Structure 1
Amino acid sequence: MTLRLDRRQFLMGSSAMLAAGAVGMGPAWAQNATLRQFFWGGQNRADRTYGVNDLFKAATGNTVDSSFLGWGDYWPKLATETAGGNAPDIVQMDYRYIVEYAKRGAIAPLDEFVGGALKLDGFDADQLEGGKVDGKLYGISLGANSVAQLVNIAAFEEAGVEAPNRDTTYDEIREKGEAFKAANIRGGMKIIADGSGSEPMLDNWLRQKGLALYTADGKLGFDADAVIEWFTLWQGFRNDGICVSAEDQALDTNGPLETTMVVMGKAAMMPSNSNQLVAFQTLMTDPLTITNYPRIAPGVGGGHYRKPSMFFSVGGSSANKELAAQYLSFFVNDLGAAEVLGVERGIPCIDKTREAVAPGLDEQNQIALNFVANLGDLLGPLPPPPPAAAGEIDISLLRVLSQEVAFGARSPEDAGQYFVSEATAILQRAS
């Protein structure tokens, strides 16, 4: 039985009545309208979202026509629909893109609906602040999360190597990686995926050094020497068989989770996010867990932060903005919806929904909740939203250069210099 079927059965019970009254305004809503919704994710996220949409329809009579794609395919499709004036009413938005979409008017400010259609009582202040651009609210956080390292527990046990923990450094990853390579399990599985093209992993590494990916005024927060050091670190890992080969890493399309290094059995660890543990576990029989990114040296922290995992925003061209705001309110407030969603999109941002969800969480969800709640000295402040061109720098520059270094087309020195000069030019053009 799929999760969707479970949720439809769930809908038939008492939770349908709960949905109708949980936010205290269901019976007064206009009925028989249809909202278009678009989000990124896998089938597990889709089933949970569809379950909430069923509850919303039962409570209000309004239908949500929903579709989804993997991360890599989502943004080009959303950009195309937005440019054509055909953006969905409800769009899933990321912290790195919210400034760009807000400044272009591609998503709508929600302030006029707060306290009316959009109830935000008890919403975590830091998560609410994360959805603001120039003081206006453009996104409702769907959960707090943190970057995390996905870990295949069974692979480490099979290799006879202790899995990393919150104190593990990059130097210790190398030591463990040598032992892991010597064990030669599963056709030569490596200890870790190639993280050189991972923007969150680079960001975390820079923050531990007291630097930043971007400054508050939208400039680079590091110089070429830092990027050269970053690419050199991973070049050493790659050359020594600590991380996966260039050929294997190229199989990861930054789209479906099925093409990632852990799911494909190429690596025992890879950069991920705390809220993704649930989705990854549905694709694998090996038990998985999460831990933090490596420390740059013993005792150094501050690289992590509690980030809005993603937002729901209302399309700037939507003809149903108020109803879309009501849907957002239902999504984050309704206790029946909270039970359906769990923590797959992150830790709920309202205390009553956290309390409703926590007792029923399975093992993976409990791991995710505890990880985000107990970052301790790893935790630093939430950085400012990335500038409008951050997505282009990530996709068209960092990822491309990481592959060019991996395949030997550029040296770390050349790539580091080029990254800074080209990223600076991209930022200037965008401003």
Structure 2
Amino acid sequence: MTPPRLTRRHALKVGIGVAGLAAAGLDRPARAAEAQLRMAWWGSKARADRTAAANRLYEAAHPAVSIKGETMGWPDYWPKLATQAAGGNAPDLIQMDYGYIVEYARRGLLLPLDDYMPSVLTIADFGAAAIDCGRVDGKLYGVNLGLNSTAFIYDEETLRSISAEIPAWDWSWDQWGAWSLRVAQASKRDGYWGLQDAGGLAPSLECWLRQQGMAMYTAEGQLGFGAAEAAGWYGFWHELRQKGAIPSADVQALDKGGATETSMLALGHAAAISTNSNQLVAHQALVPTRLGLTMQPSGGPDAKPGQFMKPSMLWSVAARSKQAEEAVRVASFYVADGEAAKLLGVERGIPASAAMRAAIAPGLEALDRAMLDYVDFIADKVAPLPPSPPKGTGEVGILLRRINEQVGFGQISAEEAGRQFITEAAAILGRS
């Protein structure tokens, strides 16, 4: 799985590229229309270009509809959305994350979509699992925009240039750590390591916990592990940090968390990062060397599967939308229209619809095909999707990152960090 970089030809194939967002009309003033929709999403410029192109395609077929896009990076997206929702001014169509859908649905901020199926929302060929991932308390609140899983994206071309090993899918956590140090030494570059510091990443922690038979969260919405496990996690990364195998705390702090442009890979500080498989496109657009992707570290021969397939993101409709049915039609268009699928590609994940996968497959370049192949490859190596995480998950993720930084800067020990995390995370979940 070693795809080439995103080419200019590839960008032009989906009607984006040289003219960027202006040509695609992302910032175009809303025209007079019977239905004026606001659509919000997080993501890179590549995603914004594709989204804008798809919106223009929808508008061309529905002249009475105008779609205004609002986009920003992951760290800024959720605070703004929370403010808008609290003020009754949420966008009509909201790009939703699996980690937040429970919170927004239970607060009454999202519209149940069951009554729109199948006449308006045509997702029957997704299959039960890919539909039900958008359900909260039995009602459908999210439309699956694509399948993905966590992955390690690595700089294959640079690794080959320094005669370093290409990571294998069955490497353990310890093997990855030892490899990271070898890459740092072989590169002969200051401020360059094999692997980012993933101690503050909740998806990686969840994978590690599941391999040990535990869970990030229980079905009741509480933590599924204790202070000893949290300390072990922080300690693993701190030991690598002390050995010089991963970035120092001040370098890792340059990563703003969720913003592709500031990842250690994009900034040139690491040869591999832990992220989601659909982020391959966005990272390849930022990195001139050829990238590849492989699985999260293995827990060893007797470990349980740590990874799982999940919705990369979902479309949700604001409960107070005045154009709710039209917003649902747009969501359906994104996941069930062949021409839209070709424009969107697999940047948001592999389409859940078998028909849409068939529609895009002939036109996929190697970069996109690698993500499709990755999802196929891991299908028999992953565990079932866990229950939707509880309200407060986002805040717990921020806490995990903050405490990891405190360990990195020598402010607290790993043992203290473990106790502090469990105490504060439990309090967050208790008040949420």
Give the match for residue 23 of structure 2.
none
Q: 1:301 Cα deviation (Å)?
A: 4.6
Q: 1:242 Cα deviation (Å)?
A: 1.0
One-letter amino acid of the structure 1 residue matched with residue 366 of structure 2: E
1:376–1:78 distance in 2 versus 1, CA, 3 Å: closer
Give the match for residue 418 of structure 1.
420
Q: 1:284 Cα deviation (Å)?
A: 1.2
One-letter amino acid of the structure 1 residue matched with residue 252 of structure 2: Q
1:9–1:151 distance in 2 versus 1, CA, 3 Å: closer
Q: How does 1:94-133 map to 2 (within 5 A)?
A: 94-133=97-136
SS in 1 for 2:195: coil
Give the match for residue 307 of structure 2.
304
Equivalent residues of 2:92, 2:317 under 8 A apart: yes
Equivalent residues of 2:310, 2:385 under 8 A apart: yes
Equivalent residues of 1:159, 1:185 under 8 A apart: no
1:163–1:399 distance in 2 versus 1, CA, 3 Å: same
Deviations 1:75-120 (A, max 9, x none): 0111111111100000000000000000111111111111122112
One-letter amino acid of the structure 2 residue matched with residue 53 of structure 1: N
Give the match for residue 343 of structure 1.
346
Equivalent residues of 2:212, 2:304 under 8 A apart: no
Alignment pair present for 1:150 and 2:153:
yes
Q: 1:423 Cα deviation (Å)?
A: 1.1
CA separation in 2, counterparts of 1:410 and 1:106?
Answer: 39
1:9–1:312 distance in 2 versus 1, CA, 3 Å: closer
CA separation in 1, counterparts of 2:318 and 2:330?
Answer: 13
1:265–1:322 distance in 2 versus 1, CA, 3 Å: same
Q: 1:417 Cα deviation (Å)?
A: 0.6
Which of 316, 320, 325 aligns to 1:317? It is 320
CA separation in 2, counterparts of 1:159 and 1:398?
Answer: 34
Give the match for residue 213 of structure 1.
216
CA separation in 2, counterparts of 1:301 and 1:374?
Answer: 17
One-letter amino acid of the structure 1 residue matched with residue 244 of structure 2: G
Question: More deviation in 86-95 or 178-187?
Answer: 178-187
Q: 1:188 Cα deviation (Å)?
A: 4.1
Give the match for residue 5 of structure 2.
none
Which of 273, 280, 288 aligns to 2:291? It is 288
Equivalent residues of 1:304, 1:380 under 8 A apart: yes
Q: 1:6 Cα deviation (Å)?
A: 5.5
Deviations 1:376-426 (A, max 9, x none): 55301100000011111111x111101111111111000101111111121
Equivalent residues of 1:228, 1:416 under 8 A apart: yes
Q: 1:158 Cα deviation (Å)?
A: 2.5
Deviations 1:103-144 (A, max 9, x none): 111111111111122112312321111000000000001000
Give the match for residue 176 of structure 1.
179
Q: 1:265 Cα deviation (Å)?
A: 0.6
SS in 2 for 1:63: strand
SS in 1 for 2:216: strand
Structure 2 unaligned regions, length at least 5:
1-7, 18-32
Normalising to structure 1: TM-score of the pair? Answer: 0.92
Give the match for residue 64 of structure 1.
67
Which of 37, 40, 53 aligns to 1:38? It is 40
Give the match for residue 86 of structure 2.
83
Equivalent residues of 1:302, 1:377 under 8 A apart: no
Give the match for residue 370 of structure 1.
373
1:219–1:282 distance in 2 versus 1, CA, 3 Å: same
Equivalent residues of 2:255, 2:262 under 8 A apart: yes
Give the match for residue 386 of structure 1.
389
One-letter amino acid of the structure 2 residue matched with residue 35 of structure 1: L
One-letter amino acid of the structure 2 residue matched with residue 256 of structure 1: A
SS in 2 for 1:105: coil
SS in 1 for 2:292: strand
Which of 89, 96, 106 aligns to 1:93? It is 96
Q: How does 1:167-316 map to 2 (within 5 A)?
A: 167-298=170-301, 300-316=303-319
Give the match for residue 333 of structure 1.
336
Normalising to structure 2: TM-score of the pair? Answer: 0.91
CA separation in 1, counterparts of 2:10 and 2:69?
Answer: 17
SS in 2 for 1:408: coil
Alignment pair present for 1:161 and 2:164:
yes
Equivalent residues of 2:81, 2:90 under 8 A apart: yes
CA separation in 2, counterparts of 1:231 and 1:261?
Answer: 19
CA separation in 1, counterparts of 2:71 and 2:16?
Answer: 23
Question: More deviation in 282-291 or 249-258?
Answer: 249-258
Equivalent residues of 1:152, 1:269 under 8 A apart: yes
One-letter amino acid of the structure 1 residue matched with residue 421 of structure 2: F
CA separation in 2, counterparts of 1:9 and 1:196?
Answer: 36
CA separation in 2, counterparts of 1:3 and 1:116?
Answer: 34
Equivalent residues of 1:194, 1:249 under 8 A apart: yes
Give % identity.
43
Equivalent residues of 1:40, 1:92 under 8 A apart: yes
Deviations 1:220-270 (A, max 9, x none): 111111111000100011000111110111001125312110011100011
Q: 1:156 Cα deviation (Å)?
A: 1.4
Give the match for residue 406 of structure 1.
408
Aligned residues: 409
Equivalent residues of 1:4, 1:47 under 8 A apart: no
Q: 1:186 Cα deviation (Å)?
A: 3.5
1:151–1:376 distance in 2 versus 1, CA, 3 Å: same
- CA RMSD of the aligned region, Å? 1.7
Q: 1:5 Cα deviation (Å)?
A: 6.6
1:2–1:106 distance in 2 versus 1, CA, 3 Å: farther
1:406–1:377 distance in 2 versus 1, CA, 3 Å: farther
Q: 1:163 Cα deviation (Å)?
A: 1.6
SS in 1 for 2:166: coil
One-letter amino acid of the structure 1 residue matched with residue 174 of structure 2: D
SS in 2 for 1:187: coil
